[in-house]
Amino acid sequence: MLKLHYNLEKVSMGLVGAIIAVASVGGIVEIAPLFTIEETVEIPDDMRPHTPLELAGREIYVREGCYVCHSQMVRSLADELDRYGPYSLAAESAYDHPMLWGSKRTGPDLARLGEKYSDDWHVAHLIDPRAVIPVSIMPAYPWLTRPLDTALIEDNLAALARLGVPYDEAMITNAEADALAQSRPDSEGADGVRARYGEDVAVRAFDGDAGRLTEMDALVAYLQSLGTLTDAPQKMFAEEAQ
């Protein structure tokens, strides 16, 4: 070994080749199988992708760096199951480019947040967290009441479809209209959203004002969708409990 290195350190390109070869092994062994084994590629039948409005909310979640303080990954530990709910499955983030599992919980985990609180609660909390939870240290996001820019929504869906997220032609071409309609329950487009994304999709004026499509609509729609894209974890949890 030492003799081998002694000779190697006299040949610069030899050293380069050896570093690349030795450094590649770990990644290849750990990463390559993840693209083939059932545990990581199986997707439940009822799994749906995010609606255009939720996706726009996800972009805002990323833009504001929410993932810096909130994880979206319930670990398989007793206290986490009691605090948050069923542990997260690989399939739940299968359509997430990128995943938002997070690495720090300055605030609580959000993987099971969907429909836990009312829309009004979220709106009030995002505008001024301390109005709802006096000792919260979350920053306020008062600017989220501005109008949502939907110019890129169609392109976003198209790009994700190219990466394998199951958005069909109709979903892509109607993306902008669907984003608006999901926040207007009484509009004609609302049925279209349900037809394309499923009856369980929440169609509401998330920010309390159906007249305006705001960033708040998008973000709250996204937060309310967390953990609701499939029932698989709840079903598995119920089966295990029996």
Any residues with CB less than 8 A from the CB of 149 and at least 6 apart, and which? none
Q: Please, what is the minimum distance in Å from the beta carbon of residue 16 to another protein?
A: 6
Burial letters 103-133, b for 16+ CB under 10 A, else e: eeeebebbbbbbeeeebeebbebbbebeebe
Longest dimension (CA), the chain: 78
Q: Please, what is the minimum distance in Å from the beta carbon of residue 29 to another protein?
A: 7
What are 189's two structure tokens?
Answer: 């487009």
Of 2 and 241, which CB lies nearer to another protein in the complex structure? 2
Q: Please, what is the minimum distance in Å from the beta carbon of residue 194 to another protein?
A: 25
Q: Please, what is the minimum distance in Å from the beta carbon of residue 221 to another protein?
A: 19
Q: Please, what is the minimum distance in Å from the beta carbon of residue 226 to another protein?
A: 15
Q: Please, what is the minimum distance in Å from the beta carbon of residue 202 to another protein?
A: 23
21 C-beta neighbours (distance < 10 Å), count: 9
Cα–Cα distance, 139 to 170 (Å, whole number): 38
CA 31 to chain centre: 21
Of 140 and 210, which CB lies nearer to another protein in the complex structure? 140
Of 61 and 205, which CB lies nearer to another protein in the complex structure? 61
Q: Please, what is the minimum distance in Å from the beta carbon of residue 97 to another protein?
A: 4
Cα–Cα distance, 221 to 228 (Å, whole number): 11
What are 213's two structure tokens?
Answer: 């499509």
What are 34's two structure tokens?
Answer: 């993840």
Of 13 and 241, which CB lies nearer to another protein in the complex structure? 13
What are 147's two structure tokens?
Answer: 């109008």
Of 131 and 170, which CB lies nearer to another protein in the complex structure? 131
Question: Is omega for the bond preceding 98 within 30 degrees of 0, making it cis?
Answer: yes
Of 162 and 239, which CB lies nearer to another protein in the complex structure? 162
Cα–Cα distance, 37 to 85 (Å, whole number): 26
Of 73 and 181, which CB lies nearer to another protein in the complex structure? 73
